[in-house]
Amino acid sequence: MGDPAGRGRLPVLAGHHVPPVARTRAKRRAARPGRTPADQQTRTGGRPPQPRVVLDITKLKGPVRGVYYLLYVIIDIFSRKVIHWEIWPTENGTLAKEVIQNAIAANYAIAPRSIHADRGTSMTSNTVTGLLALLGIDQSHSRPHVSNDNPYSEAQFKTLKYCPAFPGRFGSIEDANAFCSQFFRYYNHEHRHSGIATHTPASVHDGTAVHIQAKRIATLHAAFQAHPERFRGRRPYPPALPTNVWINQPPAAPRPTPHHKARK
């Protein structure tokens, strides 16, 4: 994501953004008083009818000290695709509810099977809990006092903030939207993710990664047939696509110890 001169840059690409009218409505809502389990996903190929997702929020520094913009991000934990994101000047349950509703619309109107989030006031609010109950979406939360219970979001935020083009501060919420629009487009469609066998999140999400994986295998096998000495006689294979992912994977059950009869 850097140019030959060493300056970090991103391609100019379109992406999601929050319309100015919507941001104005959010500011008005925020000004009103009173607004305030272990999970596994398995996939054998293609996008499942109901993905399992994580929702997290991170702060982006504004133009001066003490000013922050809140970046809401929803990720499919299997494909690592950022299904939806929005930036707001504040955090509350009403905004979290709208982000979830907008994410469902962005995902072909397919609601997730479950949502995992931290125990912040916005995600534990009655507003969000009521929406998820109405839509039949399971809800899970990070364990108390465990800061790394959402590794998918934490890893994605690190990729964002360690991007060479990531600025220390944003001059305005519009600047933050412009940058994130380019970044998430790149992340979903160009970034080769090590956790999904160096495929792009978008290709794993829509199922095309299965066909790309087959082409990779065919290419490696053809190279092996032509020059087996280069591979020391071992047929090469690309990194395997994951078949299941976990949040808070329970420890494996210990194997029973065989009981032997005592010798006389």
What's the per-residue H, E or C state across 140-187? EECCCCCCCCCHHHHHHHHHHHCCCCCCCCCCCHHHHHHHHHHHHHHH
The answer to whether position 65 is within a domain reads: yes
- Give the pTM: 0.75
pLDDT in tens, 163-192: 999 998 999 999 999 999 999 999 999 999
| Own/partner long-range contacts of 119-127 (Cβ < 8 Å, ≥24 apart) | 119/144, 120/57, 120/91, 121/36, 121/92, 121/93, 122/57, 122/91, 122/92, 122/93, 122/95, 122/96, 123/55, 123/93, 123/96, 125/36, 125/92, 125/93, 125/96, 126/93, 127/93, 127/94, 127/96, 127/97
Tokens representing residue 157 in the block? 């935020």
Provide the pLDDT for residue 62.
97
- The first and second tokens of residue 51, run together, are 């993905």
221 assigned to some structural domain:
no
Is 128 inside a domain boundary? yes
* Of the candidates 146, 82, 91, the residue with the CA atom closest to the CA atom of residue 123: 91
Which one has a higher pLDDT value, 206 or 9? 206
The pLDDT value recorded for residue 255 is 64
| pLDDT, greater one: 44 or 102 | 102
Residue 261 covered by a domain:
no
What value does the mean pLDDT take over residues 208-235?
93
Sequence letter at residue 32: R
- The answer as to whether 14 is a domain residue is no
- Read off the CATH number of the domain in which 109 is found: 3.30.420.10
- Domain contains 155: yes
| Domain count across the chain | 1
